[in-house]
Amino acid sequence: MALRTIESLGDLAGKRVILRCDLNVPLSDGQVTDDGRIRASLPTINALVHRGAKVIVISHLGRPDGAPDARYSLRPAAQRLSELLGAPVTFATDTVGDAAREAVDGLADGAVAVLENLRFSADETSKNPDDRARFAARLAELGDVMVSDGFGVVHRKQASVYELAEVLPSAAGSLIATELDVLDRLTENPERPYTVVLGGSKVSDKLGVIAHLLPRVDRLLIGGGMLFTFLKAQGKAIGASLLEDDQLDTVRGYLAEAEKRGVEIVLPTDVVVADRFAADAEHSVLAADRLEDGPAGAAGIGLDIGPDTAQRFAELIASSRTVFWNGPMGVFEFPAFAAGTQAVAAALTRLDGLGVVGGGDSAAAVRALGFRDDQFGHVSTGGGASLEFLEGKALPGLEVLGW
């Protein structure tokens, strides 16, 4: 079967379209601090508006534990969406209650409403399918058809993602279609050389991706906190840096498998080591095999790849035709330890080929460091969903749409 698209839903003029977006954006003092996911939802929202649909946007935000919590209200996201659309957006203060019904009943053709956080109901994420089905049925009463466009949640079997798409005629929006097209290019006949850059804190978060991509890539560049488990697996001392002891044998297996397949695993040759985990920590650059030689001694904590490594990674990215990057190279939130992530991002903007920023912390990092989404080939909206796709896992939110 092929993924169902909006065209399969027929004429949408005057119809109530429940649009599952991913508006799970960071907030500070009631303001959206990164509107990337809201911007990513605009093409589908605008397409539905232009078709004369009554657009009912639903989403989650954060983890409010199944009860209303003002800290996780979608109101700021709805306000930002209104600004980006240049049109009023009605906000309902509940999801399936009187406020939601009133908001939907008052919608004109081509108008948009946002309902309150789906996760204010415990049934949205319940492990019991009967609970989810009950919540999906109440949501379905508000609409005629459903469009799924929250790529960041398609790996979750949740009421608004899975059961709702079973209850109503459903299809994928343009964001999901774009994400799948890009991910397909990363797994099926990618242009070579094909380089994957992996960072973030834990090897365990990337095990499936490494295993699935090793037969497909030419190079694997390792940064972030996970690099220290790789260094330790090679017998190097790592001071007080992050280590997953239980993954050492797995990493040794990957190193052996890569050598057998002719895949180059590139590890840092130098590391920025600090005396403590803090923005103002004393730090120095040490060779990757001498991490305990600095003034901090054995207490040294690696918080970024070093400048030589950053330059090498940038050169390897520049010589590639396809690059997938997931996970920052260091603690980019601290300016003193952001240079590695900055170098990788800058190299990706200059790539002559397809460069993909794999969502999650990577997307947050490039925006925090001043890069624009349009400087990259693609910035994914779904870190976890992207990784699970690249692991070869089935994604329930796509299967229910015919994928």
Which residues are the active-site residues?
37, 202, 360, 384
Q: Is 259 annotated as a binding residue?
A: no
Taking every pair of Cα atoms in the chain, the longest distance, rounded to a whole number of angstroms, is: 70
The C-alpha atoms of residue 293 and residue 11 are separated, in whole angstroms, by: 69
Helix/strand/coil percentages in the chain, nearest 5: 45, 15, 40
Closest C-alpha among 181, 165, 57 to residue 113? 57
Tell me whether residue 235 is annotated as binding: no
Q: Is 60 annotated as a binding residue?
A: yes
362 is in an annotated binding site: yes
For every residue of 108-164, DSSP letters joined together read: PTT-EEE---GGGSGGGG-SSHHHHHHHHHHHHTT-SEEEE--GGGTTS--IIIIIH
37 labelled ligand-binding: yes
101 is in an annotated binding site: no
Q: What is the dihedral of CA 194, 195, 200, 201, to 10 degrees?
A: 110
Tell me whether residue 224 is annotated as binding. no
For the chain, report the end-to-end CA distance as a whole number of angstroms. 6
Would the annotation count 173 as a binding residue? no
75 known member of a binding site:
no
**Does 15 count as an annotated binding residue?**
no
CB burial string 235-261: b at 16+ within 10 A, e below? ebebbbbbbbeebbebbeebbeebeee
DSSP letters, 271-300, are: EEEESSSSTT--EEEEETT-TTSSTTGGG-
Q: Is 160 annotated as a binding residue?
A: no
Q: Does the annotation place 22 within a ligand binding site? A: yes
> Binding site annotation covers 184?
no
Q: Is 56 helix (H, G, I), strand (E, B) or coil?
A: strand
The span from the CA of 57 to the CA of 112, in Å, is 7
360 marked among binding-site residues: yes
- 3-class secondary structure, 85: helix
370 is in an annotated binding site: no
29 labelled ligand-binding: no
Q: What are the distances in angstroms from CA 259 to CA 81, 195, 226, 309?
A: 49, 16, 19, 21
Dihedral over Cα of 181, 356, 316, 287: its sign: negative
Closest of 214, 380, 228 to residue 302, by C-alpha: 228
Which residues are documented as binding site?
Answer: 22-24, 37, 60-63, 119, 156, 206, 302, 333, 359-362
Which residues are documented as binding site for (2R)-3-phosphoglycerate?
Answer: 37, 119, 156
Which residues are documented as binding site for ATP?
Answer: 206, 302, 333, 359-362
